[in-house]
Structure 1
Amino acid sequence: MTNRTIHHLSHIDLDGYSCQLVMKYTPYKKFNYNSNYGAEIRQKLDLMLENIRKDKTDAYILITDLNLTADDSRWLTHEVKKINDQYCNLKLQLLDHHGSGAQSAKKFDWYYLDEGRSATKITYDFAKEHFEFNEPQWMKKYVDVVNAVDLWLQEEHENFEYGKVCMRLVNETRELNRIMFADEDSHYKLSLLQEAVKCIHEPKAPILLDEKIHRLKKDFFREDEEDNTLDNLATKYVVKLLGKARNEKTIYYKGYRGYLSYGVGNTSIVGNGFLTAYPEYDFIVDVSYRGTMSLRANNQVSVAQISKEWANGGGHPNAAGGRIMGFKEQYRYDKVKQQIEQIINDKESVAGDLEYKKED
């Protein structure tokens, strides 16, 4: 392959992230995207295509462990052709093992389907054949582990049992929100898997890894800081991430400065931690995937009043909540912010003054 930037979209389970772990050992510039099935796939593909158009350099779209509908496949083929005509040289390849993609696989030459191997094994074999590939010593064993658990090959007992622990490692790694912190969440999961492979040849490897998971998570969030509980370490890490993204995620309502997060949760701890670390903010609001809001303040403004004006919600001056009627679930933060800013624009012109005015 020529020196292209790889934009890699994969699933959000062990098999999907393991495809990206395999590709980590190719020497190309890469951007990882992750998606579950359904409407999220199209939004993530849209984001990927937007990034390629902005960059205007030769690129390679790799999709793994996700099957596309016939409509999505036609749409993507058309979009790739437009980019090739107008922006850059763009290649497209999908590697999957789900039979539900058979219709697309028959029609499109870029759609490779093999139901007999996990997506990780397909990606591994494909990378060895088509890319420069700096394969580490543990890779083949790890691929066999993922293949065994993803295809549920219980007869491969050693690989299967280790795969079960790796699968739980990914499934229970929820400390970072993958919409708000897509790059950091991907790095977190891949880092944990890279640590997991260090046990792969040890005696009683599944038990050893099972006992190490909590420590591996703490070590990731701990960085150079003193030891603490996983909750406290992760909260401090998340607050730092929120702070780094202030320029993008700041909102204003009637002259008050707020911070908009999406799906972060744990607002009492994370929200108050953010307001303490960044006292220039008057409030923080976290919107869930279903449109429920959780707001926190620190005596600068009444979030109960904001919640009432935005969503007929309520609560206390420093802690309130509500539900946004008609909220449409999104898989990109910028789409969420557009919805909230539309609410702000609509409400600012009709709502009364807020309580708890800031002092000059």
Structure 2
Amino acid sequence: YYNADYRDIPYALDQIFDDMSKAKEPCMLLITDLNLTLEQSDMVAQRIQNMSKGSATPTGGKKSGKAPAKASLLSPEMAAMLKGALTASSDEPEAEPIKPLLQLLDHHATGEDSAKKYDWYYLDTERCATRLAFESIAPYLDDDKRALYASRAEFVDVGDRWLKDDPRFNRAIYLIGLIMEDDQLAPPLVELKREYRFHMIESFFQLMEQGATLEELERGVYDYRKGFLRERIASDFCENPENTLKEKFHRLAADAVLPEDVPMLRIDSYRTGIFFNWPHDVFRGVVMVLMEQRGQMDIAIRVGGNGRMSLRANENVDVGIISGMYFEGGGHPGAAGGVLRDNRLKDVDQAMRAISQAVTEKKGLVQACQMQPPEPVEKA
């Protein structure tokens, strides 16, 4: 699974195609709930064409914004591949490699231009993406799973399409809001964030399907979250009633973050971690563990896409002075603010270059470095 906000679409697609190029088995790419621009659709079609070794990628085929329901929303080729994958036996011989297959299921009316141009772009404005995705694989599920996920897909459809007259509406929009707004984990932890969201969704549905009221579902959120933490962080820390739930998630994120997840610069001999577009709460909590408790860096800088910076430091560093010298800011020795000249940063690499440029322009020293391993003894 891959997830992407609109600004991250090009990077997510690059990662997907890179993974597909390395795969040792037939690939199919199913994109849902994403209306690609015509330019992005052309790029996707070209990338698939390039991977097909000369085989033509289907194009054309005008579609209306109100496509009728049918047994399977997938193309016949993708449906056959999916059916084979779900029913294949380990004793069967490995299939011959075939060209990658592509299908996009969209419910945004703004995808009409791409839907008119490409057969693989299926547009239906009368069902939400969750229903489209479910109905595309429903024929290949057993009866029990089909019934369960049909009910859940229809439930999400009520909230996603804002069907206010449906009695499930309040619950549906509560679940959607819970998943969209609940950002407890660090951005680099993509797989862990996905596991967390699936856990929250499944916990919500299980309790609701037992007859819980919306108030009971809302009260249950704490238990859903804590249930995810169990067995993922030390039990004594997890079960300590004096530690807040946020602290526990910050500990989980700090434990899961790899050295390569936090790019580092050495600024005037100080090991500095760069945190691009991290939520403020997560940044502060994770930095407290990585920097203050484990000594893995001297300075931590959170920088947003607008170039605004938040600096934190250990006791032996004064980031108020450093920010004043290089980043047109200032503040306290342990916490300061600043700003970069470039206020349209697209990714962490661009942020790193902007920070390096700001330091070198003021005759400072800057070079890439690595995050230190944790200190052997954690500070109290």
Q: Name the TM-score class by shorter chain.
A: 0.7 to 0.9
Where does residue 63 of structure 1 map in the other structure?
A: 31
Tell whether 2:10 aligns with 1:42: yes
Tell whether 2:306 aligns with 1:302: no
In structure 2, how many angstroms separate the alpha carbons of the residues matched to 1:208 and 1:137? 25
Shift, 1:133, TM fit: 10
User: Could you tell me which of 138, 151, 163 is aligned with 2:172?
Assistant: 163
Q: TM-score, normalised by structure 1?
A: 0.77
The 1:314/1:50 distance shift into structure 2, 3 A limit, reads farther
Tell whether 2:128 aligns with 1:115: no
Shift, 1:338, TM fit: 4.3
Q: Secondary structure at the match of 1:296?
A: strand
Residues 160-180 of structure 1, C-alpha deviation per residue, up to 9 Å, x if partnerless?
Answer: 233122122213312124x43
Tell whether 2:363 aligns with 1:351: yes
The 1:248/1:176 distance shift into structure 2, 3 A limit, reads closer
The 1:346/1:263 distance shift into structure 2, 3 A limit, reads closer
Residues 37-90 of structure 1, C-alpha deviation per residue, up to 9 Å, x if partnerless?
Answer: 3x4323322332233345575422221011111121112111221222399832
Which shifted more, 205-214 or 135-144? 135-144
Residue identity opposite 2:266 in structure 1:
Y
In structure 1, how many angstroms separate the alpha carbons of the residues matched to 2:120 and 2:133? 14
Q: Secondary structure at the match of 1:85?
A: coil
Which shifted more, 98-107 or 220-229? 220-229
Where does residue 237 of structure 1 map in the other structure?
A: 252
Where does residue 217 of structure 1 map in the other structure?
A: 225
C-alpha contact 1:295 1:319 (8 A) present in aligned 2: yes
Tell whether 2:185 aligns with 1:173: no
User: Could you tell me which of 239, 258, 267 is aligned with 1:226?
Assistant: 239
The 1:248/1:288 distance shift into structure 2, 3 A limit, reads closer
Tell whether 2:164 aligns with 1:154: yes
In structure 1, how many angstroms separate the alpha carbons of the residues matched to 2:27 and 2:365? 51
Residue identity opposite 1:196 in structure 2:
F
For 1:17-166, list aligned pairs within 5 A: 32-37=1-6, 39-55=7-23, 58-85=26-53, 89-129=99-139, 135=145, 138-157=148-167, 159-166=168-175
Where does residue 316 of structure 1 map in the other structure?
A: 332
Q: Which segments of 5 or more consecutive residues in structure 2 lack a partner in the other structure?
A: 55-96, 367-380
Which shifted more, 248-257 or 76-85? 248-257
In structure 2, how many angstroms separate the alpha carbons of the residues matched to 1:352 and 1:35? 36
Residues 115-138 of structure 1, C-alpha deviation per residue, up to 9 Å, x if partnerless?
Answer: 121111111110124689993763
Residues 322-349 of structure 1, C-alpha deviation per residue, up to 9 Å, x if partnerless?
Answer: 011213343xxxx313431453266347
In structure 2, how many angstroms separate the alpha carbons of the residues matched to 1:66 and 1:268? 32
C-alpha contact 1:251 1:259 (8 A) present in aligned 2: yes
In structure 2, how many angstroms separate the alpha carbons of the residues matched to 1:268 and 1:97? 38
Shift, 1:275, TM fit: 0.9
The 1:247/1:103 distance shift into structure 2, 3 A limit, reads closer
In structure 1, how many angstroms separate the alpha carbons of the residues matched to 2:276 and 2:158? 35
From the CA coordinates, give the structure whose radius of gyration is larger: 2
In structure 1, how many angstroms separate the alpha carbons of the residues matched to 2:264 and 2:8? 24
C-alpha contact 1:121 1:143 (8 A) present in aligned 2: yes
Q: TM-score, normalised by structure 2?
A: 0.73
C-alpha contact 1:61 1:91 (8 A) present in aligned 2: yes
In structure 1, how many angstroms separate the alpha carbons of the residues matched to 2:318 and 2:143? 56
Residue identity opposite 2:255 in structure 1:
K
In structure 1, how many angstroms separate the alpha carbons of the residues matched to 2:350 and 2:340? 14
C-alpha contact 1:222 1:233 (8 A) present in aligned 2: no
**Percent same amino acid at aligned positions?**
27
C-alpha contact 1:93 1:111 (8 A) present in aligned 2: yes
Residues 281-338 of structure 1, C-alpha deviation per residue, up to 9 Å, x if partnerless?
Answer: 21111112322111111123332343234422222232222011213343xxxx3134
C-alpha contact 1:272 1:297 (8 A) present in aligned 2: no
C-alpha contact 2:262 2:274 (8 A) present in aligned 1: no
In structure 2, how many angstroms separate the alpha carbons of the residues matched to 1:101 and 1:133? 33
